[in-house]
Amino acid sequence: MRKTLLSLLAVAASSRAILSIIQVVYGTVFQGGLLWLPTLVMFRDFYGYYGLQLSFLAQGLLPYRDFGYSYPPLFLYSLLPFYLLGGIYAASLPILAADAATSPLVYFFVLKFTNERLAFLAGLAYAISPFILFYEGYSWLSSQPMFFFLLLSLYLLREGRPLPSSIALAMAVLLKQEAIFVIPIYAVWLMRNHGGGSWKAIVTFLGIVFVASLPFLLIAPNQYLGSTSYGFLRTSSPSLSNAAIPLGSSALSSAQCPSIPRTSSANGPCISSSVTYPNPLLTLVINAVEWISSIVQIPLFILIAPALYTLRRRDNFLELACAYSATGFFLLFSILIHPVYGYYMVPVYGLLLASSRRLSTLLISSIGPVLSLLTLVGYYQELLPLVITLGVISVQGTLGDRSVAADPPPIPEGDVPVSKGSG
């Protein structure tokens, strides 16, 4: 049974990767979708920005020093060999590989604590999620490779392998710096469950990040620290020697601002939470939701903390706490740096799916990514994962210990089979 379900999941994940490869064929479907779902925005970062940056790398230029680049070095350099072999289209292969591999990883994550049926549904929910398909499977953005290694690090931590886990976490951080948003929870879990052995993992993590960053710290320390910290660690104005970068006013806005056809009353580099759509009713509804979200999000974030603490002994506390931590840092990010785009939340929704222990909580976690497509950016994108997290916590709290007992771990071969709960 397990082999059959895993095979079906692999087919679903591979099919999505294949669809991504032939996106030039079905891209018109997404473009047509803009007519009936005008809140969608096509991100063209992969061809417009990553492609330009890869061409600079191929010419011998260096990121941070010679051209603007907002992310850690591993993401761009992981695409470079494929770009050199087959151009910009081939450079998408690492993203597609991570995209296809994440669904089976969600499956194994859930299978560790529940049954095969629920694990399969969780992996399938990730594989066919319109939100993740649109932002990662079609747009080929940078969150997917980072999330794969982030989820892998948590899985290895669950398996009692802190050293490989720390290596995977370092890879995630070097792909996209938002992975650091789970480090507070990760570090506490690591030290509490692995004691003195946790220091080896911590040193390994810091060593990998430092060694990978060292060349750029030596040649362009201010630009590297300033870019990867979104300006927090920049001590002076950046000086880029390559003037051929028409990438906007800042490295962040350059890498993440789509070209949008609607007007905006923005106070940020792209659009703000106040936008105007062709449909007046849609404009009214979206902006009303944004206004409510701006008022509710911080009180709700504070409210969730004690509720989450009551689940500290549950087997999915690590995933829920990491999703909560990441959402909190994104909320802070939006206040201090830049409005939060929907695709930033790929790791948050993925962690919520991986936390599934019942069919009811899986359904709640699956709804969030779909609803996220209703807006591009703003307070709603920060509030929605908090609402989903609170929903999962509430269901588990209401069910009490039955939330674990209803979906017991799979029975090892050779044991006498017993009936399982309905999930």
- Per-residue confidence (pLDDT) for residue 246, from 0 to 100: 35
DSSP secondary structure letter of residue 265: -
Q: Which amino acid is at 180?
A: I
Residues 6+ apart with CB under 8 A from 421: 405, 406, 407, 408
What pLDDT shows up at residue 399? 62
- CA–CA distances in Å: residue 77 to residues 55, 91, 145, 152, 198: 12, 10, 13, 21, 30
Six token digits for residue 355: 């936390």
76 Cβ neighbours under 8 A, 6+ residues apart: 50, 53, 54, 57, 63, 69
* 389-407 b/e (C-beta count within 10 Å ≥ 16 → b): bbbbbebbeebeeebbebb
- Strands (DSSP E) contained in 188-265 are none
pLDDT at 254: 33
pLDDT at 134: 77
Q: What is the pLDDT of residue 409?
A: 40
**In the prediction, which pLDDT does 255 show?**
34
Mean pLDDT in each 10-residue stretch from start to end of the chain (423 residues)? 62 59 52 55 78 92 91 94 91 86 90 88 87 77 90 94 96 94 94 87 96 94 88 60 36 36 36 57 81 91 92 90 93 84 88 92 91 81 92 79 41 40 38
Entry pTM: 0.81
Q: What was the pLDDT predicted at 215?
A: 94
Q: Can you give the pLDDT at residue 375?
A: 76
